[in-house]
Structure 1
Amino acid sequence: MKRILGVSLLIFMMAALSACSNDDPSKEPASTPTSETTKELASEPATASAGGDIFQKSCITCHSSGDITGGQVKLDSTKIHAVFQQKEELYSFVSKNMPKSAPGSLTKEQYDAVVNYLWDQK
């Protein structure tokens, strides 16, 4: 049973990542945060509510979550907590891989806020 659950979660994560792939950049909307957007978002504290705003501006192209709807992949908090046992694991993944169009382009504070937002959803 654990093996089936593990394989299912792996398939879900692979599907989520492939949905946001940049195989053909000419068809992708320009969603790389500009320096002005990054400066604007950097001033926000690393709270879950600030994370919702940052999520709306930086992640919505590919994802929707909670009450925020947008991209092809809806993030589910139960699946997030099943895949990532600790908030630090989620932070590590998100900060290295997201946003897909510009991984690592947000500030530490922005990643903290987005991870707090995602982690606190129930």
Structure 2
Amino acid sequence: MKRIFGLGVFILMIGLLSACNDDDTSKEPASNPASETASEPATAAAGDDIFQKSCITCHSSGDITGGQVKLDSTKIHADFQKKEDLYSFVEKNMPKAAPGSLSKEQYEAVVNYLWDQKE
């Protein structure tokens, strides 16, 4: 009988504690950095953020230092005559460990960021 009473009190306390919780997490979406970044506009500024999250382990660019391969904006523009050519290359080959794993918007933003490095 004591055991049943103790279990009832325990369940009641849990119910009271959960009712006192002011945080309503049911309305908040689950935090997923990849999906948050995917909804960003494909601007060069968004590309900078994506570059730091997805590319910096292998590459560095401009003032951003990271991986062993420094991206040279002059070489980018010499190797790729059009931004679309750069986009096609990056989408098919990057990130090296998981090519094609970023969203279309993420690839567009990174390419815009890289393309604007020339200026």
2:54 and 2:33 map into 1 onto residues whose CA distance is: 9
2:97 paired residue number: 101
Q: Does 1:41 align with 2:37?
A: yes
Q: TM-score, normalised by structure 1?
A: 0.70
1:121 is paired with a residue whose SS is helix
- 4+ residue stretches of structure 1 with deviation over 6 A? none
Q: Does 1:56 align with 2:52?
A: yes
2:69 paired residue number: 73
1:70 and 1:36 map into 2 onto residues whose CA distance is: 24
Amino acid paired to 2:55: C
1:37 and 1:59 map into 2 onto residues whose CA distance is: 15
1:40 and 1:65 map into 2 onto residues whose CA distance is: 23
1:110 paired residue number: 106
In structure 2, list runs of 5 or more residues that go unmatched. Answer: 1-30
Deviation at 1:44, TM superposition (A): 1.1
In structure 1, list runs of 5 or more residues that go unmatched. Answer: 1-34
The superposition leaves residues 63-114 of structure 1 with CA deviations (integer Å, 9 ceiling, x where unpaired) of 0001211000000000000000000000000000000011000000000000
CA-based RMSD of the aligned residues comes to 1.2
Report how many aligned residue pairs link the two structures.
Answer: 88
Q: TM-score, normalised by structure 2?
A: 0.71
The superposition leaves residues 14-70 of structure 1 with CA deviations (integer Å, 9 ceiling, x where unpaired) of xxxxxxxxxxxxxxxxxxxxx922102112110001000000000001000012110
Q: Percent identity?
A: 84
